Amino acid sequence: MIQRLQSILLLVAVLCNLGVLAAPLWMYQFGNGREVVNGLAVTAEQSDAGPQEISFTENPFHLAFFSLVVIASAWLFLSIFQYHNRKRQMKWGYVGLVALLLEVLSLVLFTNNGPFLLGGSSGGIEVQWGFALPVLALVLVWWAIRRIKADEELVRSVDRIR
């Protein structure tokens, strides 16, 4: 059934994962400016120049990260509807878990490749709160897989009694 706890956990994981696109992930501080990276764009502000922005399609690392977010979210969302076959739902959950791990890896590689708009070495690098969202999605998917496995064991034990 859709209202099972694992379905709700998977839905919350999808929402957390899609939240990465709008949340600030990383910020580079410079002497006279700063650069903020989120899932859809990189925005730079300098005191001597106006704000600059590049979209995710202009940077291959950013495009790979965006693609992994969309793929992992769609895969996990579709796994919610596999509730009638718990073994398949667990397999889909594991594939979603791997996609989320690849997403976190690409996020780390993407942010280590910056700064993007402002030249020079960065004076300070700060991790923003959006960086925790894919990690939270990982934990939620792992928890959902454990719940699916517990349901499967319960059904097997009831079948043995019959």
Q: Residue 34 falls within a domain, yes or no?
A: no
| Overall number of domains in the chain | 1
Query: In which domain, by residue range, is 139 found?
Result: 5-23+59-119+129-161
Any domain includes 47: no
Section 7-35 average pLDDT: 87
| Residue 98, domain member (yes or no) | yes
The strand ranges marked E within the chain are: 24-29, 33-38, 41-46, 52-55, 124-127
37, 66 Cβ separation under 8 angstroms: no
pLDDT in tens, 39-92: 888 777 776 666 777 777 777 778 888 899 999 999 999 999 988 888 999 999
Give the predicted TM-score (pTM) of the model: 0.83
User: Where does the pLDDT of residue 151 fall: very low under 50, low under 70, confident under 90, or very high at 90 and above?
Assistant: confident
- pLDDT band of residue 36 (cuts 50, 70, 90) is confident
pLDDT at 45: 76
The reply to whether 87 falls in a domain is yes
User: From the CB of residue 155, how many other CB atoms can be counted at a distance below 10 Å?
Assistant: 11
